[in-house]
Amino acid sequence: MLLTQNSKLKTSFMLTIENISVNYGAIEALTNISMRVEQGEVVTLIGANGAGKTTTLRTITGLLEPTEGRILFEGKEIQGVATHKLVARGISMSPEGRGVFANLSVRENLQMGAYLRKNKTEIAEDVDTIFEAIDEIRSKGTTILLVEQNAHAALHHSDRAYVLETGKIVMEGPSKELAADPRIKEAYLGE
Amino acid sequence: MDTFVQQLINGLNIGAIYALIALGYTMVYGILRLINFAHGDIYMVGAFAGYGLAYFIAANLGLAGASWGALLIVLVGAMITAALVGMAIERFAYRPVRKYSRMTTLITAIGVSLLIENLFVARYGGMGRGFPQLLNDRTYQLFGNAAISKSQILIFVVSIALMLLLQWIIYKTRVGTAMRAVSFNLNSSKLMGINTDAIITFTFALGSALAAAAGVLTAQYSPTIDPLMGITTGLKAFVAAVLGGIGNIPGAVLGGLLIGVAETMVVGYGANVGIASTYRDAVAFAILILVLLLRPSGLLGSTVQEKV
């Protein structure tokens, strides 16, 4: 969960949870929980399966409502506030199981991640720079096997490449050479 | 051959109407997993809104009789009215019970349907009334003995235009992408900052507007409307949505066209195989039983596999 400071008002307590309880029907999932996250801290909440970690996160993000207690973000009460409004105020969480929209394209998934941003040009730029993340990960010494449909970007950001066609490797070699190969250009790069 | 072409034209025509209504069922199901049983009544509300508007503009704007201008005002006005009614139903009937079991929302939907029907019967009476003709309807002779009327052409043109517009909204716009995201995962969508309540309301508005267009278009072709006209037509459109694969948008269109053609083919050829033409309304439900037995997910329905 990321907490982004939004208000100009400096508060040392970014997030404060005061005595919240959460029920699923008759079952009490959280009992009288209190905790706080100060500006700039990294705070971790640990616990076994079923201990209530997810319930806590879902309550902070407004997906669940506590039966008792208060949650304060930058000094203001947020329990009962709709999730999408909290996202706009600076509370964001990557959903469990990654929450990928499998019925949407990769690009549309990225665009949904930028749903609240207004500047279309900036969003388009950021979506296109997703491949630069590969260079960044590599610069930290990580080895990568990149499996990708976007041939142009993949060849541009890799050293060597294999081309798979109907279950067979049909070409292999340095990415630069493949990118210049007329057959690749015609079949994958649309030139 | 002439009969076949004629029944095909008639079938595709009535099928286009079913398709327009089926789209609303399928979109709402896709996003809420709710069978909106009041949707057929929205089709009726659309026709009545068009009826009221036609008399209103005749009296106040002097747009009496047939004219393209009157037709456009009536069509768009009925669509807007029905969209507002659909939004109100979602807001005041479905949203408060959304957090309860699906059975609760289903029964609420049946209740809303009965409420609308009986309000209209109480207000306007159960008798059919003539819808003012806004089109100088005439028939064009095609090859052989097949013919197509102006009102049928209107149904084709307007329904295709609306379907293309819907396709554009759902696949090319930000709100459409959000609709698809919400239909896949409500909570993930909320965490992206999507106002899911607004998206759900918008979905009801879209579906209701399409149903109202179907209502006005039908009233040009067969100009009698009554408060219970939405029951059978709505059920058939629901069957069309199930046939195509409920939740699947192209499926709703395909299902609608197939049900329409099946119906008119029974009228045209049923007698040859011992099925009286009076069975035309039963065809859709026979198809429903077959679909549920043989392919419950519908023709185009499938489950989306999550890729790693």
Residue B206 lies in a domain: yes
Written as six digits, the tokens of A187 are 């079949």
Residue B92 lies in a domain: yes
Question: How far apart are the CA of B234 and the nearest CA of chain A, in angstroms?
Answer: 28
Domain that holds residue B21: 2-229
**Is residue B39 a contact partner of residue B21, using CB atoms and an 8 Å limit?**
yes
Number of domains in chain B: 1
Closest alpha carbon to A81 in A61, A67, A101, A99: A61
Q: Which residue of B has its CA nearest to A63?
A: B187
Chain B residues with CB under 8 Å of A91 CB are: none
Q: Which residue of B has its CA nearest to A108?
A: B177
pLDDT digits (tens, 9 = 90+) for B8-49: 999 999 999 999 999 999 999 999 999 999 999 999 999 999
Q: Which residue of A has its CA nearest to B199?
A: A84
Q: Report all structural domains of chain A as residue ranges with CATH numbers, in order of start.
A: 2-188 (3.40.50.300)
Residue B285 lies in a domain: no
* Residue B77 predicted with pLDDT over 90: yes
pLDDT digits (tens, 9 = 90+) for B265-301: 998 888 888 888 888 888 888 988 998 899 888 888 7
pLDDT digits (tens, 9 = 90+) for B225-242: 999 999 999 999 999 999
Least CB–CB distance from A108: residue in B177, B188, B195: B177
How far apart CA B223 and CA B31 sit, in angstroms, is 34
* Residue B189 predicted with pLDDT over 90: yes
Among A55, A58, A115, the strongest candidate for a mutation testing the B interface, having the largest count of B CBs within 10 A, is: A115
Question: pTM higher than 0.90, yes or no?
Answer: no
Q: Which residue of B has its CA nearest to A99?
A: B188
pLDDT digits (tens, 9 = 90+) for A57-106: 999 999 999 999 999 999 899 998 999 999 999 998 887 777 889 889 88
At B308, the pLDDT band (50, 70, 90 cuts) reads very low
Residues whose CB falls within 8 Å of the CB of residue A76, separated by 6 or more in sequence, listed in order: none
Residue B114 lies in a domain: yes
Question: How far apart are the CA of A94 and the nearest CA of chain B, in angstroms?
Answer: 8
DSSP 3-state assignment of A131?
helix
Written as six digits, the tokens of B82 are 């029905």
- Can you tell me the ipTM of this complex? 0.80
* Radius of gyration of chain A measured on its C-alpha atoms: 23
Residue B73 lies in a domain: yes
How far apart CA A65 and CA B44 sit, in angstroms, is 39
Would you state the pLDDT for residue B50?
A: 96
Question: How far apart are the CA of A144 and the nearest CA of chain B, in angstroms?
Answer: 16
pLDDT digits (tens, 9 = 90+) for B103-157: 999 999 999 999 999 999 999 998 999 999 888 888 888 877 889 999 999 999 9
* Residue A191 predicted with pLDDT over 60: no
pLDDT digits (tens, 9 = 90+) for A123-145: 888 877 877 888 888 888 888 89
8 Å CB contact of B193 and A99: no
